Amino acid sequence: MLLSIKEMEVRKVRFSETWQPSEFDFSDSGMTQSAPLTAEGSAEILPHTGGEVRVQGKVRTVLAAECDRCLAPTTYPVDASFDLFYKPAAELTAAEDDLALDEGEAEIAFYEMPGLELEDILREQVLLQIPMQKLCSESCKGICAVCGANRNEVECGCEVHPGDDRWAGLSHIQIGSSTSNV
C-alpha cells in the first residue's frame, strides 16, 4: 500500500490492513511470517515543516525461526507501535547533506514522490523487535559440540573442556611463532 503524499496534502491518510502468513518475506533474516500481519495507523504531513511526514501506528504478527543454539523451531510474537518522521528527499541539497552528516543525524529518514511504501515501513519495524540472537529460551543449552545431541532434551554426558591443555599449548605456539616473525 502506497502512503500517497498527494493524498496526505488533502487529508490524513488512515490505514488498517491485514496480510496473510508468508506475504511478508523475512527469509534474508532467517525467519518466516507464521501468522497474519495486521497494521493500523495514520500518515500525515505536519504543518509548517516544509513537508515533513509523520507515520504512526501499530503492527502485530508472529515470526518463526530456528533457535541459534539448538535449531529448535521458535516463534516471536511482535506487537509494536511506531511513530516515525520522514523529510522530503528533495530537501537534501549537497550543503544540507554535509550538515546532516556533521550533526550525526543519520537516523533521519527521507521520502520521495509519490510517497512511502507501508510494507517497507512495517517490515523494518517488525525486524527491529527481533533480538540479534534468536533463542528458544534464555537458558537454551544448545547442541553438544561432541555428539551433536540437543542438550535441552538429553544429558549426553559428553565431557567438554574449553580450557583443554592441548589447546592452551597450541595457542602458545601460535603466539610464539607470530612474535618471532616481527
Give the binding site for Zn ion (CB under 5 A). Answer: 67, 69-70, 72, 136, 140, 144, 146-147, 149, 156, 158
- Looking at residue 119, its amino acid is E
Q: Least separation, in Å, of the C-beta of 161 and Zn ion?
A: 13
Nearer to Zn ion, 64 or 144 (CB): 144
Matching residue, cell 599449548: 169
Q: Least separation, in Å, of the C-beta of 169 and Zn ion?
A: 24
Q: Least separation, in Å, of the C-beta of 72 and Zn ion?
A: 5
Nearer to Zn ion, 68 or 119 (CB): 68
**Residues forming beta bridges with residue 55, ordered by sequence position:** 43, 84
Nearer to Zn ion, 72 or 84 (CB): 72
DSSP string, 25-86: --GGGTEEE-S-EEEEEEEEEPTTTTS-EEEEEEEEEEEEEE-TTT--EEEEEEEEEEEEEE
Q: Least separation, in Å, of the C-beta of 19 and Zn ion?
A: 28
Nearer to Zn ion, 62 or 100 (CB): 62
Task: Report the first-to-last Cα separation within the chain, whole angstroms.
Answer: 61
